[in-house]
Structure 1
Amino acid sequence: MACPSKPMITSLNPLTNLNQTKLFSAYLHLDLPISSNSSNGRRKGMPLRKTHLLKAGVIPSPVKRVGGGRREINHGAIGLQMWSLCGFGYWVQGFRCFPWLALNFYMSHGLGLSPSMLQLVQSTGNLPMVAKPLFGFISDAVYIGGGRRLPYISIGAFLQALSWCTLALVPTHAGRFPTQMACILLSNLGASVTEVVSDALVAEFSKTRSAGELQSYAFAAVAAGGLLGNLLGGFLLLKLPKVNPMFFAFSVLLTIQLVLCLTTKEVSFYITQASNHHLPQNSLKENLSKQFTALIAVITETRILYPLLWIVASNAVVPLLSGSLFCFQTQCLNLDSSVIGLSKVVGQLIVLCTTLSYNQHLKSIPMRTLISVVQVFYALSFISDLFLVKQINVRLGISNEVHVLCISSLAESLAQFKTLPFTVLFSRLCPLGYEGSLFAFFASAMCLSSIVSGVFGVGLASLLGVTSENYSSLPLGIVLQVLAAFLPLVWISHVPMMMNLELQKPRRQW
């Protein structure tokens, strides 16, 4: 499946303290009073920088005049637009499980793919996700029609809508598999563009919010979309004779997202658009060169590099056996699509609950401690798959349906939640104007680690002789999976010990 590559809202208040007001004033050229103890509104030693004035008419100003010639920013309008657009975008991202559930059943039952081949197709389909750094890199450096976020989200939504609509029109038989595979790659290409630019948008806007607020909101939107997508997908697979209508329905949702992006003006980027003001004044080659140099500087900084290496390695070292388990559940245990779909719903509920808990309580726990506990539970959660394959749950009086419904998605949910603290950390440490590049690199590295994990899983299943007719060696593979999941605890020291991410404000400009 695609890398999916984020709700308790604590505050929507506008900027109130003087430093934040001066930051807005410097970037927007507002005539705001600055205290006398500051040297022209900047700290000592900070070089003067050229500014890029936004073109009138391209983006409607969220600034209005008040008495005495002073002006203030209409934060409410910006915030509402930002929350609505991002909320729907992340919800659609989570809802991608709806057509993917149908696609997995079609490839497993309609095309008769083996467990290893199914997992290989899933991993190969994720290859466009590895190109995320390029998309984030370009979105940071190149403006399209006066914007550098929404135009790219529109492009990604268009590519996805085109691919899923094509899948809906293509006949579902083995002779069309090359065309279907091309559509899968095109869909994930569009999804990679949309996801990385959306993450950059959230990272930019979150610098004026409390730590983790927007990230938790985005995670919650993804979980809500996944919850409904799996629930509806499992139900429709039982009712519909073909999967094509499900593909078409999702393409309609993507078209709605495309229309929203095209009709929304990019008013949420005043800070970062101005902070990266030098880019529109230079040639494309100079912009890309500066952006690449800055990205290398950001990534190689120790406080970003070490946590990044840990989260990527913690995924890559665990062999993924999802294809084998999916085929075992549907072909050997004969579980229908509604049970599989509902199990994913439970998984998304777990993500939603843990996201709420993180935003309310867990983010006050030292990050290294929190991640260590999550990793331990992640490793132990694979034991539930061992119980299912060995049918220990049946001997304990728990039916296969109940076991799969309640427990089988736990590992996937914990893996998804584990990225949230790192997303918050990187958004607070990333310099202004380079969020797209950093989060694109982060997302790409995560997708690459998932592909490596999937390839390891395919190799392990093949080595153990796991096939559609023989699952006798699958328990050994799960045991090795559990042991591999404990390995990242050996280098857990790469995860920082910090309790309050709220204190980590981005100060440095590259």
Structure 2
Amino acid sequence: MSVAVPITSTGHPWDKDDGPLSDSRNGKFSVFGCLVTEKKLRKREGKFGIFNCDWKCRVVSDHKEYLDDDDAIGGAGKGDMLTTDMEGETSFSSKTSPRKNKYQMSAVKCFGVELSPDNVAVAMVYFVQGVLGLARLAVNFYLKDDLHLDPAETAVISGFSALPWLIKPLYGFISDSVPLFGYRRRSYLILSGLLGALSWSLMATFVDSKYDAAFCILLGSLSVAFSDVVVDSMVVERARGESQSMSGSLQSLCWGSSAFGGIVSSYFSGSLVDAYGVRFVFGITALLPLITSAVAVLVKEQPVLKPTRGTNLPLASLNFIEGSKQKIIQLWGAVRQPNVLLPTLFIFLWQATPQSDSAMFYFTTNSLGFTPEFLGRVKLVTSVASLLGVGLYNGFLKNVPLHKIFLVTTIFGSALGMTQVFLVTGLNRKFGISDEWFAIGDSLILTVLGQASFMPVLVLAARLCPEGMEATLFATLMSISNAGSVVGGLIGAGLTQLFGITKDSFGNLATLIILCNLSSLLPLPLLGLLPRDNPDANKESEDIEMKSN
């Protein structure tokens, strides 16, 4: 199941007295004439971050002059000392500054992005999203071995746990419109982390029925989905007004953090289940969301002013409801446009084909005897393969028309998916390939192809968003895509039940695999719903949210 799994645009990465005198790109800017206005001193963010005052500066870069704010009215003499009235600070031009060496210290960067407190917070939240995969294997074994559920029941619970990802735009409305304890971002990150810690703590201690397990897994999913929307909005705000290169760097930081967390959790997930049991893994997992709560204090955010005394609270609530209604109307007006609705319909149908993942998990563990430790190693391989799939798309496919990518990857994916029949029937052993090595190779190839085929979904969703409501509509389209995945999982659960596949009976599993892979070809006649364009005319694929679960 694919889940579209982004720092304010004005937050400056340096403190008031720690900004460099040179521009961070090439170090060639120099201040040679500055005038402090008589206005109330305020911190200028997004410019040079040199002093805590309202500057009008003329700078030089490669013999070209630029006038800050286009309204400088004069300047002190070159090298003159300027004095502000804020805490008696004395500021110097770059020529006479005694702290020149301090200002020239280079900032620490990752993926080309400066690791400011805001960026560190975003990266850590994405890391937590990736490392929470530590419990995924433990959940599967818990549902199978402790609660003794059949494959169909496990598939239903998995689909139910994805419901919070279907209403992501609602979280955006809440975060934007309902400040919690005076903050729109920081407080919701803290709350999301606490909610996730609570859900996994319950799984580690009190949960002993499938209904309790489904509820706690749902809470954990809600925690991740809400924090995902909050940091998504921070990245959107941070990327607004930045260059395309910087936007791509921000997405690389997010994706790289999540991928690193996924690889770390994959390495330990199986061995911890094997050595200490699922309850222990749930307890360890309960500590991870607290990282989200802890890094929330790094988010630079101005507190929202509380309503003054005498404010009409019912009227304010009415305004909120009316504003939300207008946003929904605007969103529906965008979605119902044919150039958005028809491609969205294709995405939904493409994701809604049935899946046999739960049945295959039961077969590999109960029939083939794969241990949790070995499955953890397989998961590690698939995590690395996911990165290879992204590299395959970025290196060779991002300039290929979308309909061609969908056509080729769907056909190849359907054909290669049939290889699971070899594992079910034992044909791989007749060719001298062990079950373990065949499972690793099969998972590697299918994951690379699956990730490369999912990237166009993100590209298409990003390109369908009209200007002015990019974040909201993108979240909506991803929710629709997630809904298709849920529908596909539920259809797969129904087929599993229909074919009589249980935790001990796998007689019709090969038939189920063949049917699921053939059904993935059904949306291909609808490729005409996708927009036809020149791929070289736009490069949104470098700026999209590259996350999947």
Q: Give the percent of matched residue pairs that are identical in Structure 1 and Structure 2.
A: 29
Describe the SS at the equivalent of 1:193. helix
Deviation at 1:441, TM superposition (A): 1.6
Q: Tell me which amino acid in the other structure corresponds to 1:383.
A: M
Q: Spell out, residue by residue over 1:298-330, the C-alpha distance to the aligned partner (whole angstroms, 9 max, x if none).
A: 3223443333222221010x2111111100000
Q: 1:138 aligns with which of 174, 179, 182?
A: 174
Kindly tell me: are residues 88 and 304 of structure 1, through their superposed partners in 2, closer, same or farther at Cα, counting changes over 3 Å? Answer: farther
Q: Is 1:287–2:323 an aligned residue pair? A: yes
Match for residue 61 of structure 1? 45
- The match for 1:106 among 142, 149, 160 is 142
The partner residue of 2:351 within 306, 315, 325 is 315
1:348-390 Cα offsets, whole Å, 9 max, x none, are 1121112233334432222222232222232223112111111
Q: 1:204, 1:494 → 2: CA distance?
A: 32
Determine which of 191, 195, 202 is the counterpart of 2:228. 195
Which deviates more from structure 2 when the two are superposed, residues 126-135 or residues 334-343? 126-135
Question: 1:146, CA displacement in angstroms?
Answer: 6.4
Equivalent residues in 2 for 1:6-85 (5 A)?
Answer: 61-63=45-47, 64=49, 65=55, 67-68=57-58, 70=68, 80-81=115-116, 83-85=119-121
Partner of 2:115: helix, strand, or coil?
A: helix
Gaps of 5+ in 2: 7-12, 14-40, 50-54, 59-66, 71-106, 303-315, 542-549
Closer/same/farther in 2, CA of residues 313 and 418 from structure 1, 3 Å limit: same
**Separation in 2, partners of 1:95, 1:488:** 34
* Rounded Cα–Cα distance in structure 2 between residues aligned with 1:339 and 1:93: 23
- Structure 1 residues 264 and 140: alpha-carbon distance in aligned structure 2, compared to 1, 3 A threshold: closer
Q: Who wins on radius of gyration, i.e. which is larger?
A: 2
**Hey, what's the Cα distance between the residues in 2 that align with 1:301 and 1:221?**
36
CA distance in 2, matches of 1:203, 1:338: 39
- 1:332-411 map, 5 Å: 332-408=367-443, 410-411=445-446
Distance 1:467 1:61, change over 3 A: same
The residue number in structure 2 matching 1:237 is 273
Using the TM superposition, give the Cα deviation of residue 450 of structure 1 relative to its aligned residue in structure 2, in angstroms. 1.6
Q: TM-score, normalised by structure 1?
A: 0.76
Q: TM-score, normalised by structure 2?
A: 0.71
Q: Is the 8 A contact 1:339 1:405 kept in 2?
A: no
CA distance in 1, matches of 2:175, 2:350: 29
Query: What is the count of residue pairs matched by the alignment?
Result: 437
CA shift for structure 1 position 214: 4.2
Tell which deviates more after alignment, 419-428 or 306-315. Answer: 419-428
Cα 1:413/1:445, change in 2 over 3 Å: farther
Classify 1:322/1:120 alpha carbon distance in 2 versus 1 (closer, same or farther; 3 Å): same
Tell me which of the two structures has the higher relative contact order, counting C-alpha pairs closer than 8 angstroms and 6 or more residues apart.
1
What is aligned with 1:297? 333
Structure 1: give runs of 5+ residues left out of the alignment: 7-13, 15-55, 268-279, 506-510
1:87 equivalent in structure 2: 123
1:155 aligns with 2:174: no
Deviation at 1:451, TM superposition (A): 1.6
Q: Which amino acid aligns with 2:68?
A: R
Aligned-partner Cα distance in 2 for 1:423–1:150: 27
Structure 2 contact 405–453 (Cα < 8 Å) conserved: no
AA in 2 matched with 1:197: V
CA–CA separation in structure 2 for the residues paired with 1:197 and 1:501? 31
Shift of residue 99 of structure 1?
0.8
2:214 corresponds in structure 1 to 181
For 1:67, what is the secondary structure of its paired residue?
strand
What CA deviation, in whole Å up to 9, does each residue of 1:220-263 have, x standing for no partner?
Answer: 433332222122101212221x2223222222221112111233
Q: Where do 1:325-336 residues align within 5 Å?
A: 325-336=360-371
For residue 39 of structure 1, what is the aligned residue in structure 2?
Answer: none
Seen in structure 2, the aligned counterparts of structure 1 residues 368 and 140 have a Cα distance that, compared at 3 Å, is farther
Distance change in 2, residues 1:324/1:137 (3 Å)? same
Q: 1:423 Cα shift?
A: 2.4
Post-superposition shift, 1:471? Answer: 0.8
- Measured in 1, the distance between the counterparts of 2:457 and 2:236 equals 12
Instruction: Indicate which of 467, 474, 477 corresponds to 2:512.
Output: 477
Shift of 1:147: 5.4
Partner Cα separation in structure 1 for residue 417 and residue 333 of structure 2: 38
Query: Are 1:117 and 2:150 an aligned pair?
Result: no
* Alpha-carbon distance, 1:484 to partner: 0.7
Q: CA deviation at 1:433?
A: 5.2
Supply the RMSD in Å over aligned alpha carbons: 3.4
Offset, 1:178: 3.5
